[in-house]
Chains A and B, each alone.
Chain A
């Protein structure tokens, strides 16, 4: 009986926590949309993974664009430095588009974005033999949302270890 009561109370507390945290995250999202995008390029870190300590794996693009932003170029220089230090590692650059475009055009756009990243890595001394480009178009979003923030996370080129 007593155990049961404790259990019940714990549940209540847990439920209260859930409600509170739900509110907290909602507020954060509302205030953070601006802070997470510059123009319509994603600048947040939610979806970013790391190839190694301090080496982010992805760069983001504006709608219909494949131009690298200042932040993207910095990320790619970090990747290039890491690749130079690890000459045995090859990479696949996976290019993606958001859902607001026709499927076939988006396949081409994903390829163009990944190639923009590839060209930049090459200017920093990475041989094209070590880089494969693979476009997924809009087929593999990271965020399933139908809003500008979700789309900005999905317009990306991700550097993935190939071996």
Chain B
């Protein structure tokens, strides 16, 4: 994996932040914004240059396709069919004939070009408001050719941000557990892929059971549970170097790890004598602190984005419910009071909501509630689903879903799904194998 990815980004023309077109992402978007993604134009010499290095016939259209797919899967945009485009890509990038784009009902237009300069990939792109006949944004990037997919994701993020007013989530990765084999003897491996499913890689071989990988929000480190030598322990993995180490020296099972928002601590559960309590370990000075002390099961801890609070689930009331406490373990308050059991609380990166799994009358739900427990909203119901993880902008949740087996115990599968915070745009994320326990990274470029 490339150690440092250098992308030079500069704004071609300063633009006023007054968006003409706006996409409201706070409600379910039933009318996605029609927009045209004109293929990035490319001169013959550059085309040949990239074909040689990247084995792609036309890197300009490949990048545009990434942008198109990203915007489509967000559910907020409707990229129009290229066959209807009347203007050639190179001319459109110089000066769009807005009446042509208006004719096919595009409200926004993305144009651009790709150049091969000094063994580098140079991409410039423009976002146009078709109705107002104005340029909204123009940016250029220079990077190594191998980063072409990331360029597509960064363009998508910029367009998303300009049109919605919020940061995008396309230049991100997802770490998850790949699953194979019969239900009674699943083989599980850590796997990582780009948010759109490209560049899938396995990080472990499947010799031991691995569970619940989570990204460090501040770096490309991962924490997860491994049954290495049949001892379930929390591990820390550097995905750039592949080095890994056990977290802390606990005489028993540690599990349910997550990073603090600054990436400097790991918070997790330690199980002993039938009790599970929450602990933190500082990764710099290795100091371990016990945060909860209760004979019940306290697990699935997750920090608030400012690091001041922790949400977790506990069965201290007799059943699994969600609690919030201060980061030193004081001031514990139960926040879930609806019917059913509540687990896996995860604090939104925006700070205002907690996503959770709920079990009620034999059905599993993914839902969200405010941090005081009010405003509970269930987004999706199924036979089995759990473990929501937030997109870095706090607008989308990824989780996994398992199927019910038939009377012979056959037909089991586990897949990744995502859904908008609004409850719309539920869709499966394709993985090469069955998959569970997804965790969304931060934006790779900021």
Residue numbers of A with Cβ under 8 A of B are 64, 66, 99-105, 107-109, 111-112, 115-116, 119, 133-135, 139-147, 150
Contact = CB atoms under 8 A, between A and B. Distances in A.
B300 A112 contact: no
B184 interface: yes
A23 B46 CA distance: 70
B271 A144 contact: no
A144 to B, nearest CB: 4
A116 B274 contact: yes
B20 to A, nearest CB: 45
Given A108-B297, A144-B405, A102 B343 contact: yes
Interface string B315-356: 100011000000000000000000001011000000000000
Contact of A104 (B186, B230, B255, B405): B255
B252 A105 contact: no
B211 interface: yes
16 contacts: A64-B319, A100-B359, A101-B343, A102-B357, A104-B212, A104-B255, A105-B313, A105-B320, A135-B271, A139-B186, A140-B185, A144-B184, A144-B412, A145-B409, A146-B409, A147-B407
Contacts of B410: 144
Given A111-B271, A144-B409, A102 B297 contact: no
A157 B178 CA distance: 27
Nearest to A135: B253
A111 B315 CA distance: 14
Contacts, number: 104
B144 to A, nearest CB: 39
Contact of A133 (B252, B269, B362): B252
A116 B383 CA distance: 30
B384 interface: yes
Given A107-B211, A144-B410, 12 more contacts: A100-B362, A102-B344, A103-B386, A104-B256, A104-B300, A107-B232, A112-B276, A112-B297, A119-B274, A143-B184, A144-B405, A147-B407
Nearest to A92: B230
A27 to B, nearest CB: 14
Interface of B: 182-186, 209, 211-212, 225, 230, 232, 252-253, 255-256, 269, 271, 273-276, 297, 299-300, 313, 315, 319-320, 341, 343-344, 357, 359, 362, 383-384, 386-387, 402, 404-405, 407, 409-410, 412, 436-437
Nearest to A128: B273
A115 B232 contact: no
Contacts of B384: 99-100
Contact of A150 (B275, B343, B409): B409
A65 B184 CA distance: 22
Given A102-B344, A111-B271, A115-B274, A142 B319 contact: no
A155 to B, nearest CB: 15
A134 B232 contact: yes
A156 to B, nearest CB: 13
Contacts of B269: 104, 108
Contact of B387 (A66, A102, A119, A140): A102
A101 B274 contact: no
A66 to B, nearest CB: 7
B212 A146 contact: no
The 5 closest A-B pairs by CB, nearest first: A115-B274, A144-B409, A102-B343, A144-B183, A108-B276
A102 B252 CA distance: 20
A139 B209 contact: yes
Given A115-B273, A139-B186, A141-B183, A104 B253 contact: no
A115 B271 CA distance: 10
Given A133-B252, A144-B412, A105 B297 contact: yes
A73 to B, nearest CB: 16
A137 B79 CA distance: 45
Given A102-B387, A105-B300, A112 B343 contact: no
A73 B271 CA distance: 23
B254 to A, nearest CB: 10
Contacts of A66: 274
Which of A100, A133, A135, A146 has most B Cβ within 10 Å? A146
Contacts of A142: 184
A144 B182 contact: yes
B87 to A, nearest CB: 52
Contact of A141 (B184, B230, B275, B357): B184
A92 B319 CA distance: 28
B388 to A, nearest CB: 11
Contacts of A102: 300, 313, 320, 343-344, 357, 386-387
A108 B271 contact: yes
B276 A103 contact: no
Contacts of A108: 255, 269, 271, 276, 297, 299
B183 A105 contact: no
Nearest to B300: A104
Contacts of A145: 405, 407, 409
B299 A104 contact: yes
B419 to A, nearest CB: 18
Contacts of A147: 407
